[in-house]
Amino acid sequence: MSSTIIDSKIFGDMFSDAAMRHVWSDENRTAKYLDIERALAKVQGELGIIPKEAADEIVKNCEPSQIDWVKLKAKTEQIGYPIIAVVNQINANCRDKLGEYCHWGATTQDITDTAAVLQIREALALVEADLKDISGSLAKLAKAHRNTPIIGRSNLQQATPITFGYKMASILAGIERHRERLQQLKPRVLVGEFGGASGTLSSLETGAMETQAGLMKELGLGQPLISWHTVRDNFAEVGAFLGIVGGSLGKIAMDVKLLMQTEVAEVFEPYAPGRGSSSTMPQKRNPISCLYIHANISVVRQLAASLMDAMVADHERSTGPWEIEWVAMPEIFCLMSGALKQTKFILAGLEVDAAQMRSNIDMTHGLVMSEAVMMGMGPYIGREYAHDLVYDICREALKQKRHLIELLAEHPEINKHVTREQLEGFCNPMNNLGQAGVMVDRVLNSIKN
């Protein structure tokens, strides 16, 4: 029986992704505990810290298929942590009490934290792949619509013409920064933990640092400079990173939602029969994926903040803040996987109506070209005076419901300086796209594979 959106049989694959749910499952987490205990025994056996015979026996019995889940649950509830319960089962399965050497010199938090880092590594690989796909889709849209005019919008009002390619390239540049951030945070985050009770490895008389180094090499993780049991900036950074990635996905969803409005109708989520329909209004085409993105990333931001609460930990081993991560980290990743999946779906099949984009530029009868007119007249009558004059003419154009160029051509302060042909050039959206194409090309040329 499921009771959360993430694990729901109905909603689970809409709010999250199956591969990400597996990463944070009980089965995978416990498998990571076993991977670490196996690697620890192997390294300590090679270093002569524990008998080689014991190491071989422990390695042989660190298999998920040997876990008794009923016993693991019961023991975890009794103790409060699962690691001892896992070690008990490994020990019990080993012959001749050789399993007593399992977990040699380690503490519960060493195994728990290192397992979480292994899960984070798997989870970030999924995020990385999704960001690459999103980048690819945005790049295709930016390239295809490099010169497709669309009205820019400021405070939800029509501003000046841009291109749809520019709009997509602007978002693409942000996604590329996220991909760069991900590469930069990996060396800080993908670092294991092996410090013993208070972090000093006092439990091992000899070979302590060699064990730590060997263990991390075996697991493919970085070796910590010093134990980080209660210094949790690494995990908080992961949450913060995912939070700002979510912000970028939310930006995409917000713009698509607004562009899908009936009165705008410039882009649409991919069509599928019945998708986005209303139970009472057959004509509707709701922005379904956008809605799920918005919901997911909003919750992720709150959960990311809780990881910063977890940083306020007491002394060398904490009393509660640590467990915040157990609750928040899986949900952050799972909800982000859903938002990433929905974003990929939108961008891969986004429907773009270039004709409607141009129609919306023209709907104000030239008023959106007022800046171009002002700047064009500036050399003749001064920019500030041109601004005030064009402002008054725009108000009159609205009042008379006439095209801006007609009133401009009639005005004596204007027609004595420029011709009707010059005014038509000022009022042509395609002449006033600025450096949009140049900027699109710069973003496209900056993309890393």
Residues marked active site are found at 278, 317
Task: Check the CA dihedral 392-395-399-402 and report its sign.
Answer: positive
- DSSP sequence for 195-210: --TTSS-TT-SSSHHH
Burial of 77 (0-12, 13-18, 19+ CB in 10 A): exposed
- Give the integer Cα–Cα distance in Å for 404 and 155: 22
**What is the DSSP secondary structure assignment for residue 223, as one 8-state letter?**
P
Amino acid at 118: L
Whole-angstrom CA distances from 376 to 391, 422, 428 are 14, 9, 12
Residue 159's H or E segment, with its range, is: strand 157-163
Chain-centre distance for alpha carbon 282: 34
- DSSP sequence for 232-265: -HHHHHHHHHHHHHHHHHHHHHHHHHHHTSTTT-
Residue 137's H or E segment, with its range, is: helix 108-144
Amino acid at 232: R
